[in-house]
Amino acid sequence: MRPAGNTFIKISSITLLALSVNLVGCQTFKNLTGKNDDAIVTAEKSEQSYYRDAVTSLDKEHFNAAIEDLTNLRTFYPTGQYAEQALLDTMYAQYENGKYEDAAASAEQFIRLYPSNPQISYAYYVRGVANMEGSSDGLNLFNLNQAERDTAYLRLAFANFQELISKYPNSPYTPDAAQRMTFIYNQFAESELTAAKWYIEREAYVAAANRAKWVFQYYPQSQSVPEAIAILAYSHEQLGLTELANEYRTLLQINYPEWLTNDGQVKVSTKRARSWLNKVTFGKLGRSGMDASATATGDYTGATRTQMIRNAAQLRLPSDDAATQSSMNLQNGDGVNVGLDLPDNATEQTTSPASAIQAAKEASADNRPTSNSRIRFAPSDDMIDDD
């Protein structure tokens, strides 16, 4: 029995040796051809060295090199002492390198992995800022053709800032987030008026009035409310509805007299509104762990930061479905009853002259400009007087 056992052992040893040679041969072949996808990669530097080199690259604004070192650090030392800070620095480097989607994704990853990190509000802030910058054509993306407008990123950024304000109202990044929310909200309202002016140029006064009314319905806290009232007054007058036109003109006289000429005529501009970018200075994104009060502080005028945060927390954007339905109605030539005795529309909520005026009055009362307003919407130089 023993010889048989020895024979089996010898055969097994030979078989294993042959398999080993075969595997080594395959491995050697892969190495020679350069197609070894299974080769084990090891760290070339220590965790401290990776992070030190990454910081040096960040200081020199060599963002690609910084991202590479930070990525390697997290790959080889995922639970190391610099892992969390490396991800914070990664999202900053990606943002500064113009890779906004990557920065937002890194911020999202940080929020998911490290919810108790002291710098968590920074991740929420970077996510919103990156999505805001990722919108088509930067921030000035509102074209007349609403079907071609890409507002998804701005809506996402608005929701990001909204979550930051709700969860971390005392964060040093919250004031700038509030300012950005207000800007996005006003941009959406301004886009409605841009469309209204387009219709006025083509004497489509019903559609123009519809767009102006949408400002009351969906953006009652926007800076576009005064001009919306002016467009309603002008459009009603052009449609021969003098009584309603006079009521809207009275609202202007009481609340926004700057929108009337000396002889009581309504000021209306048919040119596209100017961007507010030159009137607003947002905070500059800086690295986490640095002086957040300096890197995330914008140019605040008028309202205090507490007021601005409180006001921003109350802002809401209409749903995508509501905005899409409005665009489809106008493209199809549908009218909307805003006190014009027109056929009812499925999306219209104002069904009588009285309710239309009441909506305008409520919007005016809630949004009357004050001396401490952060952004004052004043008539531009290109406004024309319509007698």
The span from the CA of 133 to the CA of 136, in Å, is 8
Instruction: Yes or no: say if 229 and 252 are a contact pair by the CB < 8 Å rule.
Output: yes
Would the pTM of this model clear 0.75, i.e. be above it?
no
Least Cα distance to 292 among 194, 176, 172 occurs for 172
Q: State how far the alpha carbon of 28 is from the alpha carbons of 35, 43, 226, in Å.
A: 11, 22, 77
Average of pLDDT values for 139-164?
69
CATH number for region 44-117: 1.25.40.10
Distance (Å, whole) CA 130 – CA 153: 9
Quick one: pLDDT band at residue 87, thresholds 50, 70, 90?
very high
Least confident of 95-99, 299-303, 344-348: 344-348
Pick from 95-109, 143-157, 198-212: least confident: 143-157
pLDDT band at 352 (very low <50, low <70, confident <90, very high): very low
Output the six-digit token pair for 119: 């710098």
Q: What is the pLDDT of residue 51?
A: 97
Does the pLDDT of residue 236 top 90, yes or no? yes
Q: Kindly report each contact of residues 345-350 with a partner whose C-beta sits within 8 Å and lies 24 or more positions away, as own/partner.
A: 347/322, 349/217, 350/213, 350/217
Give the tokens for residue 353: 């002259």
Q: Reply yes or no on whether the pLDDT at 86 is more than 90.
A: yes
The predicted model gives 129-157 an average pLDDT of: 64
- CA distance linking residue 267 with residue 263, whole number of Å: 11
Residue 249 CA, distance from chain mean position: 35
What is the reported pLDDT for 23? 38
Where are the chain's structural domains? 44-117, 192-275+324-385
Q: What is the pLDDT of residues 263-302, one digit of tens each?
A: 888 888 766 554 444 344 577 788 887 656 554 555 555 5
Question: CA distances (Å), 197 to each of 78, 210, 250, in order?
Answer: 56, 11, 21
